[in-house]
Structure 1
Amino acid sequence: MKENFVNSLPPEQKEKTKKGLVWVFIFSITMFFAGLTSAYIVSMGDGFWIKVKFPTAFWISTILILASSLPLYMAVKAIKAGDMKKTSMLLLLTTILGIAFGISQWKGYSALNNEGAHFVSRIMVTDGRYGEYYSIKMDGVLLDIEGNSYEKKGELLTEEEAQALRTFMLNFDLGTDFNQIFTLPAYGEKFVFLYKDEPLSLVNGKFVKTNGEALQLLEFERLTHLARNIIDERGDFFISGKMGEDFHLYYAGKELQYIDRKLHYNGEVLSDNLQNKLLRGNSDTSTAYLFMITGLHFLHVICAVLMMLVYTIRSFTGRWDASNAVNLKSGAIFWHFLGALWVYLLLFLLFIH
């Protein structure tokens, strides 16, 4: 009904009305994202905050969405001139670049996910944290850990050693099956578990402490958590890599340092109160914001790509001519806006996140 009313208006009035509706929509989206970015800044000043490196795919997607504006600008010129063949080809190119933007964005999200930056996750490992209950001897040498890196005699494990450790720990990724009988030829030769610094023996397929007691349910559950952490190449942090290089951790806007498996704030060891807050009750809100802000923009782009796909099909099937220039120009305004919005979000997250 509203569309029919707009189409019944004189050409100049129709163009003004459609552009006005587009600008109202753009203003609404702008205020929405302004609210999100403001909430991001406010939340960052009142808790622990992780800053991660931006995936390369996000930079590629920026180039793609900016490049897509040129053929769309030329398509508006072409349809006004009545050159429908040129309009169709330029719209097709715009749509392809829009789809490529979406694919690149998806690869960026996958890269974040592979680095341990999930929409919902914690910052530091609590369950199965290496050294809290369990430690491991490998080839008779006690393994140490710094961040997410396992070491032997002060040297990082080689890839072959790390893979051997992960393979061994697969035996204990059991879910809730804690009554399994183990047959582990490597145990006692290549690997030995220590529980509270005391070695565990494997007797009749069961782990036994030095006092002869078998592991209890909770103790064995802790071992399965450790196994999952090692398999996922996780040590003290859920984010992969080295703190201070691959990712940074802040509290109330100030960066924390990680020294000897302890966090330092303002040059001193993090207080017990803040340490407990981080370990027991603090989730990675920053990455949730990152996914939410970029993801909502991504959804808007998907809608815009579908719009361009419809325009492209109509132009190729002869359902469009020069009289549809107003529709295309209105759609182009929205498309260019989404490109500008992405650049703003990218710069905001680059300097803030």
Structure 2
Amino acid sequence: MDLSKDVDPIVHEKMKKNLVYVSCFSIVMLFAGLTSAYIVSMGDAFWLETPLPTAFWWGTACIFISSMVFIGAIDAARKGRQSLMKGGMALTLTLGLLFVYFQWKGFGQLMQNGVHPFQNHIVVTDGRYGDYFEVKKNGRFISLDGNDYLWNEKKMSSDEFGAFQKYMKEFISGENYNNKFRLITKGDQKEYQLIFNNEPLAIQNNSFYINDTTPLKSADILRLKQLAQNVVDGRGDFFAKGKIGEDFNISYKREKLEYTNRKLYYKGKVLSNFLQIKATESSDMASSFLFILTFLHLLHIAGALIYLSRVVVKTFMNKFGMDNHLSLRLTSIFWHFLGLLWGYLLLFLVFIH
């Protein structure tokens, strides 16, 4: 027995709208809590500041245009213009799917730039170039400035760095228990010289020896593999790709840090030993929050798209008309809300992140 038929249409509409408003309010509370936690967490922590990927901006355009198209579709429904309503609803769904596509593309752009959701640090510690190992090329040391590898006091060209990466890649396959490496590029071995604690390493039977007699220890082989992985991945002193101060920033207590001679400076002074340790041990919470906020919003968009798909199907089945389009209006309320929520999150990330 359908009791809703006995309810006054105006009351029925208010009941349905209230359910939508309650859902919106609960989502507002969820994201208010997360953004508050974001602000509190950055108070006494090292924070990675990165620009938002361009794909996010394309997605923003899609979701805002979809809201305007949705408004036009409802107006067409009120006027009984079925073909215009169907076209508007189909376009709204398409733009919503494009928003999802651009969000995923944005996640990919972030990860390509060294920004990952979990288990990531800000400063490279394991396999850090220069701590244990260095490399000479044609008798000159390769040095590091941020994420830029230098040779002859100049940043390596893409070809030079590619050859360096090819050389270092061979050490990733080293076997920890027997000090063996699959060294293939014999020509490159003449061009490059691996240095361990200021001592050149000799290669004998695909193994490394210090002073031709002392084999490299397993712990040092692991460090070499970590360094090799960093070089192959294009990392220097930081996990984020690019140049500090231009492509990304690191802040402490909301103050941007300066970086000179491979050292971080806070308010013009080198970080104290305590802060140096804290910086090396700090996880990249900023990126974790970025992914959590945007992915949670994307999940709500996905849920809305599932329902929107059903509404579009009903639209093409001529289920809606001049006097029967409540489902359209209820869906539009939630869809507009998610668009406004994304606008808030975007502004929050632009000005706070």
Identical residues among aligned pairs (%): 40
Q: Shift in Å at residue 81 of structure 1?
A: 2.5
Contact 2:58 2:102 in 1 (8 A): yes
Residue 139 in structure 1 maps to residue 147 in structure 2: no
2:262 aligns with 261
The 3 A distance-change label for structure 1 pair 195 and 187 is farther
Bigger shift: residues 231-240 or 302-311: 302-311
Q: Shift in Å at residue 176 of structure 1?
A: 5.2
Q: Shift in Å at residue 295 of structure 1?
A: 0.9
AA at the equivalent of 1:256: L
Contact 2:174 2:221 in 1 (8 A): no
Taking the TM superposition and a 5 Å limit, the aligned residue runs for 1:208-219 are 208-210=209-211, 212-219=213-220
2:154 aligns with 155
Q: What is the aligned-residue RMSD (CA, Å)?
A: 1.6
State the secondary structure of the residue aligned to 1:200: strand
State the secondary structure of the residue aligned to 1:327: helix
2:10 aligns with 12
1:117 aligns with 115
Bigger shift: residues 62-71 or 81-90: 81-90
State the secondary structure of the residue aligned to 1:194: strand
State the secondary structure of the residue aligned to 2:123: coil
Q: Shift in Å at residue 76 of structure 1?
A: 1.3
Q: 2:107 and 2:6 mapped to 1: Cα distance?
A: 45
2:105 aligns with 107
Q: 2:170 and 2:90 mapped to 1: Cα distance?
A: 53
Structure 1 residues not aligned, in runs of 5+? none
1:189 aligns with 190
Q: 1:238 and 1:69 mapped to 2: Cα distance?
A: 38
State the secondary structure of the residue aligned to 2:216: coil
The 3 A distance-change label for structure 1 pair 211 and 352 is same
Contact 1:123 1:282 in 2 (8 A): yes
State the secondary structure of the residue aligned to 2:250: strand
1:233 aligns with 234
Q: 2:70 and 2:181 mapped to 1: Cα distance?
A: 66
Q: Which of the numbers 80, 83, 97 marks the counterpart of 1:82?
A: 80
The 3 A distance-change label for structure 1 pair 217 and 6 is farther
2:318 aligns with 318
Q: 1:182 and 1:195 mapped to 2: Cα distance?
A: 19
Q: 2:303 and 2:146 mapped to 1: Cα distance?
A: 42
1:290 aligns with 290
AA at the equivalent of 1:44: M
Q: 1:78 and 1:176 mapped to 2: Cα distance?
A: 69
Contact 2:43 2:254 in 1 (8 A): yes
AA at the equivalent of 2:209: V
Contact 1:239 1:247 in 2 (8 A): yes
Q: How many residue pairs get matched?
A: 350
2:50 aligns with 52
Residue 167 in structure 1 maps to residue 183 in structure 2: no
AA at the equivalent of 1:164: A
Bigger shift: residues 84-93 or 256-265: 84-93
Contact 1:133 1:195 in 2 (8 A): yes
The 3 A distance-change label for structure 1 pair 347 and 6 is farther
Q: 2:177 and 2:293 mapped to 1: Cα distance?
A: 41
* Cα shift readout 1:174-210 (whole Å, capped 9, x = no counterpart): 2755533544413541111000011101112211102
Contact 1:182 1:206 in 2 (8 A): no
Runs of 4+ residues deviating >6 angstroms: none
Contact 2:171 2:182 in 1 (8 A): no
Q: Shift in Å at residue 9 of structure 1?
A: 2.1
Q: Shift in Å at residue 118 of structure 1?
A: 0.2
* Cα shift readout 1:275-315 (whole Å, capped 9, x = no counterpart): 11121x31000000011111111111111111111111111
Q: Shift in Å at residue 7 of structure 1?
A: 5.5
Contact 1:178 1:221 in 2 (8 A): no
Q: What TM-score do you get using the length of structure 1 for normalisation? A: 0.95
AA at the equivalent of 1:347: L
Q: What TM-score do you get using the length of structure 2 for normalisation? A: 0.95
Q: Shift in Å at residue 6 of structure 1?
A: 4.5
Residue 330 in structure 1 maps to residue 330 in structure 2: yes
1:34 aligns with 32
Q: 1:6 and 1:256 mapped to 2: Cα distance?
A: 62
1:69 aligns with 67
Contact 2:70 2:92 in 1 (8 A): yes
Bigger shift: residues 186-195 or 261-270: 186-195
Q: 1:273 and 1:82 mapped to 2: Cα distance?
A: 70
Structure 2 residues not aligned, in runs of 5+? none
* Cα shift readout 1:128-161 (whole Å, capped 9, x = no counterpart): 1000000001122100001111001110001111
State the secondary structure of the residue aligned to 1:128: coil
Q: 1:52 and 1:284 mapped to 2: Cα distance?
A: 11
